[in-house]
Structure 1
Amino acid sequence: MKNYLTLVLIAIFSIVAVSCDNRNDDVLVNDNDTFSVVLDINNVNFSFDAQNGYFISRSFTKPLFNTDVVLIYRKTGTASDGSPVWQSIPRTIFLSNGNELDYDFDFTKNDIMIYANGNYDIATTPQYLNAQTFRVVLVPASSGAKNAKVDYSDYNSVISYFKIDDSKVTNL
């Protein structure tokens, strides 16, 4: 009987010990080599060559750290209060007659390339190739940030989460 009572007490203690967890599961971003930065590419036209198709290329003034990630947003208009409306890329824009235009990008530690492609001759829609504005956001790619509760497709969510002062935008 004593052994049975001892086992029951150990089991109860184990359940109580495991269930009393006061850990905070909020993810904190602590990346000591990345300072979140916002850069603009203003009023630019896509270039064309046979290898890349339609593209915009920019180099960083300093190479990125391996722990940096690049997010890019395209300005699609202006809200009623005058603030810009940003749309994350990659993005597919569905046009009339089944036409689709795609914006995409890639990056290295030294540069970025933004691409425009479509299932039609996109030169026939110059409004998507000329006078475009893009916002480049550099953020840490630490494991905490990648699992964070932030919607990377929402520019304002990213700016808020990483506490970025986007009033200090520089041109790239």
Structure 2
Amino acid sequence: MKKITLLLAFIGMITLQSCVREEVIVQDPYDNDTISEVFQYNNVNFTSGNGYSVLLNFPHSIFSSDMVLVYRRSGNSSSGAIWKLLPETYYFDDGTLDFGYQNDFTRFDAEVVLFGYDLPGLSSDFRLNQVIRVVVIPAYFGNKTANPVDTKDYEAVINYYGIDNKNVTEINL
């Protein structure tokens, strides 16, 4: 009986022995799910024909939790383009509203609206052949409560989020 018990105990120890498995964790240096991107829309025109409103369709849908910043090229300097964050307003010398730009967005597009007084009389420099940049910041970055970057400064935004200006997706309207 002792031999049978000893044999059963030996068989039980062999069958109940656990396997040792080593896990190798490979660190991917690229974070493929939190990539910021920029869409540039050229030849944007605000006319009475489109109600001074332009719909900028994204090349692909974005996540509903992503943050979207919309910039308008307001001119050029020796160091490059000057980008202004929307909404943007301009006032008469007496302090009353002249005109401005506002925007909103969905997962599929951004709408930019020119509003104000006497829009047909507004200089074509503010209505025609505008260049608009839409910066999409993934939710991982955009939902931080304390955002250490000044979003009004386009250059600071692209530097902070590691965006390469060579990778801007250009769309001609």
So what's the TM-score if we normalise by structure 2?
0.71
Per the alignment, do residues 114 and 35 of structure 1 end up closer, same or farther by CA in structure 2, a change over 3 Å counting? same
Cα distance between partner residues in 2 of 1:115 and 1:127: 15
Q: Give structure 1 stretches of 5+ with no counterpart.
A: 1-30
Cα distance between partner residues in 1 of 2:139 and 2:91: 31
Q: Give structure 2 stretches of 5+ with no counterpart.
A: 1-30
1:123 maps to amino acid: P
State the percentage of identical aligned residues.
37
Cα distance between partner residues in 2 of 1:79 and 1:127: 16
Instruction: Give, in angstroms, the shift of residue 99 of structure 1.
Output: 4.6
**8 Å Cα contact 1:53/1:117 also seen in 2:** no
Deviations 1:78-102 (CA, angstroms, capped at 9, x unpaired): 1123x10111100101245645211
After superposition, residues 69-148 of structure 1 pair within 5 angstroms as: 69-81=67-79, 83-96=80-93, 98-118=96-116, 120-125=117-122, 126-142=124-140, 145-148=144-147
Deviations 1:108-161 (CA, angstroms, capped at 9, x unpaired): 00111100001x111101321111111111102336534221111110111111
**8 Å Cα contact 1:34/1:67 also seen in 2:** no
So what's the TM-score if we normalise by structure 1?
0.71
Residue number in structure 2 paired with 1:46: 46
Query: How many residues are treated as equivalent by the alignment?
Result: 138
Secondary structure in 2 matching 1:153: coil
After superposition, residues 59-70 of structure 1 pair within 5 angstroms as: 59-70=57-68
2:88 maps to amino acid: R
Per the alignment, do residues 129 and 54 of structure 1 end up closer, same or farther by CA in structure 2, a change over 3 Å counting? same
Residue number in structure 2 paired with 1:15: none
Highest CA radius of gyration, 1 or 2? 2
Q: CA RMSD in A?
A: 2.1
Cα distance between partner residues in 2 of 1:110 and 1:99: 31
